[in-house]
Amino acid sequence: MTTTEEIPVDEETDEDEEEDQDGGRRRPTPSRQRRLVARSDTCTDGGGAHTYAVAKVWYRRWEEHVGAARGFVAGSAPAPGPVDMDTQNDDANAFVNENVWKLFVTWYGVSASHHLDRKHLYFKDEKVIARTQVF
């Protein structure tokens, strides 16, 4: 008699990737993105020497897409599109560490209106917003 064993799915495999319809970019599933950003946000190396501006509106869309926003399930909201920033109002931007920035850019690209030269040194009292919680 043959039994079928359940083989655990490794979270690090490429099976967790989906393909973007617009740019042909490959990126992890929404729930995997959430885990990777949470892991990058808690790295002990400080996340790099810079923080990067990301529009709070864009970040909120990403949180909805990955299920980090209240009332949303991973994948229930559309992907946020290229990373953007608000060039008119600094208060409308969140700042993410370098590791999180690299993930976002790899997965979504950068909008033409984003000022990439706006990176700056990370200071202790500055708030870095990659606060995704993994449940």
Among residues 94, 135, 100, which one has the least CA distance to residue 118? Answer: 94
Please give the pLDDT value at position 135. 37
Q: pLDDT tens-digit profile of 53-102?
A: 899 999 999 999 999 999 999 999 999 999 999 989 889 999 888 899 99
- Give the residue from 117, 98, 101 showing the smallest Cα distance to 45: 98
CATH (domain of 71): 3.30.2230.10
User: Would you say residue 97 lies in a domain?
Assistant: yes
Lowest mean pLDDT among 90-94, 101-105, 107-111, 117-121: 117-121
pTM here is 0.70
Question: What are 2-53's pLDDT values in tens digits?
Answer: 444 333 333 444 445 664 545 566 899 999 999 999 998 765 444 456 788 8
Domain that holds residue 113: 23-121
Q: Is residue 38 part of a domain?
A: yes
Q: In what order do the strands lie in the sheet with 50-55?
A: 93-97, 50-55, 120-121
**Apex CA 108: angle with CA 22 and CA 126, to 5°?**
160
Q: Are 58 and 83 in contact (CB under 8 A)?
A: yes
Q: Cα separation of 123 and 78, whole Å?
A: 34
Phi, psi of 94 (to 5 degrees): -105, 165
Please state the domain count of the chain: 1
Does 11 fall in a domain? no
| pLDDT given at position 48 | 58
